[in-house]
């Protein structure tokens, strides 16, 4: 459920182990993530990035402080309620290994919908549309072991977006990929998330990744020590790529529209279009076919 609500953290503290002798991973974090915003979380190893992501996503309960989403304080919810919220409101992309090896790509991508009660046929149909949109048309039946690392991450992105989440959380999503593949996957992730209007939170060590986001927060010793805003996040589409004709049934992803901003800086050329051919009824900037039915494009 894409939502026009911010995700906020108030004086967030997380201590592992017992108070006094434990490790304080978050020492009072305040953060507000606007709807549709993309935020990179950077900082040295051990500074608390993954812990912050997990607390924001309701994976970990905070020791004190609040995480507020859609008017609810995640910290005060039961584990069961948080699990339900994660399934309906949030999407996740991890570094690698999160796909179920025995399932084909379409069923892997359909899992959040099936867990939420959508009938299998309907869920896999929606998942296939996402796979096509992300440039994986024709690969729906492949199991993770039959996909490249970049293709597997696209399946993971499809799985993160299939339920139209309000926020997508990504922890080093390109960390296991070579640089070029990582850039392609990042372009797909940022653009596809942007097209749905979801916010994106990425933990990364790679300053190149951060340049694709609208904001970067820098952490040290469990605190946010500085922030910078990217003047204009780079679209995943090469500026020279012709825009596909828009049709009523195929709303264009926002970054592919004329006039989309181009970020300055040394970040390499935008990722090339994925391998799938452009669709006859309009195209997405990530190279597949139309956005899946029911997905509303929310320009930023
Ligand atoms: N399950 C845990 N039990 C105890 N301490 C933990 C646990 N998870 C993390 N920590 C500690 O909390 C601190 C923050 O860890 P965290 O993984 O959030 O940092 P990070 O910035 O994501 O690091 P990295 O970049 O290396 O992944 C570290 O000191 C770490 O050792």
pLDDT, tens digit (0-9, with 9 covering 90-100), for 21-43? 889 999 999 999 999 999 999 99
Return the best residue to mutate from 12, 40, 48 for the ligand 1 pocket (most ligand atoms within 8 A of CB): 48
Place of tokens 């825009």: 243
Q: Is the pLDDT assigned to residue 193 strictly greater than 50? A: yes
CB of 47 shorter than 6 A to ligand 1? yes
Q: Is 273 a residue whose pLDDT tops 50?
A: no
Instruction: Name the closest-CA residue to atom 11, ligand 1.
Output: 25
CA 269 from centre of chain: 21
Give Cβ neighbours of residue 198 (< 8 Å, ≥ 6 apart): 2, 36, 91, 161, 164, 165, 166, 167, 168
Kindly tell me the number of DSSP H helices and DSSP E strands found in the chain.
Answer: 7, 10
Which atom of ligand 1 is least distant from the CA of 52?
18
Q: What is the structure's pLDDT at 275? A: 31
Residue 187 beta carbon below 6 angstroms from any ligand 1 atom: no
User: Is the backbone of residue 250 left (phi > 0), alpha (psi -120 to 50) or beta?
Assistant: beta
* Per-residue model confidence (pLDDT) at position 137: 93
- 45 touches ligand 1 (CB under 6 Å): yes
Which of these, 82, 23, 34, lies nearest to 58 by C-alpha position? 82
Q: Is the pLDDT of residue 109 over 60?
A: yes
- In the reported structure, the alpha carbon of residue 81 is separated from the centroid of ligand 1 by a whole-number distance in angstroms of 25
Q: Which atom of ligand 1 is nearest to 172's Cα?
A: 27
Q: Atom 18 in ligand 1: which residue has the minimum CA distance?
A: 48
Cβ 95 under 6 angstroms from ligand 1? no
Q: What percent of the chain has pLDDT over 90?
A: 55
User: pTM of the entire structure?
Assistant: 0.80
Higher pLDDT, 182 or 142: 142
Give the pLDDT mean for 199-211: 87
- Give the Å distance between the CA of 208 and the centre of ligand 1: 23
To the question of domain 7-256 being in CATH 3.40.50.720, the answer is: no
**Residue 86 dihedral angles phi and psi, to the nearest 5°:** -60, -40
C-alpha span between 151 and 154 (Å, rounded):
5
What average pLDDT does the segment 8-20 reach? 91
pLDDT mean over 200-211:
87
Q: Is 16 in the pocket of ligand 1 (CB under 6 A)?
A: yes
Residue 22 CB–ligand 1 contact under 6 Å: no
How far, in Å, from the CA of 271 to the mean position of ligand 1?
Answer: 32
The greatest distance separating any two alpha carbons of the chain, rounded to the nearest whole angstrom, comes to 62
């Amino acid at each position: 459920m894409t939502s026009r609500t911010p995700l906020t953290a108030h004086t967030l503290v997380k201590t592992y182990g017992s108070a006094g002798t434990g490790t304080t991973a978050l020492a009072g974090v305040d953060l507000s993530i606007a709807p549709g915003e993309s935020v990179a979380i950077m900082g040295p190893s051990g500074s608390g990035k993954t812990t912050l992501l997990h607390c924001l996503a309701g994976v970990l309960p905070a020791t004190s402080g609040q995480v507020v989403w859609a008017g609810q304080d995640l910290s005060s919810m039961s584990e069961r309620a948080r699990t339900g919220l994660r399934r309906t409101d949030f999407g996740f992309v991890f570094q690698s290994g999160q796909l179920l090896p025995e399932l084909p790509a379409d069923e892997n991508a359909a899992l959040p919908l099936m867990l939420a009660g959508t009938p299998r046929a309907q869920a896999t149909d929606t998942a296939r549309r996402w796979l096509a949109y992300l440039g994986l048309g024709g690969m729906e039946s492949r199991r993770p072991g039959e996909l490249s690392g970049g293709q597997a991450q696209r399946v993971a992105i499809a799985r993160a977006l299939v339920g139209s989440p309000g926020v997508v959380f990504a922890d080093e999503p390109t960390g296991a990929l070579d640089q070029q593949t990582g850039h392609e996957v990042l372009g797909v992730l940022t653009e596809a998330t942007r097209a749905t209007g979801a916010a994106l939170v990425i933990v990364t060590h790679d300053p190149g990744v951060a340049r694709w986001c609208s904001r970067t927060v820098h952490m040290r010793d469990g605190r946010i020590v500085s922030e910078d805003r990217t003047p204009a996040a780079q679209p995943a589409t090469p500026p020279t790529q012709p825009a596909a004709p828009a049709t009523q049934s195929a709303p264009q992803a926002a970054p592919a529209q004329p006039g989309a901003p181009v970020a300055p800086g040394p970040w390499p050329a935008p990722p090339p279009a994925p391998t799938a051919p452009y669709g006859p009824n309009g195209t997405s900037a990530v190279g597949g076919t139309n956005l899946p039915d029911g997905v509303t494009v929310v320009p930023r």
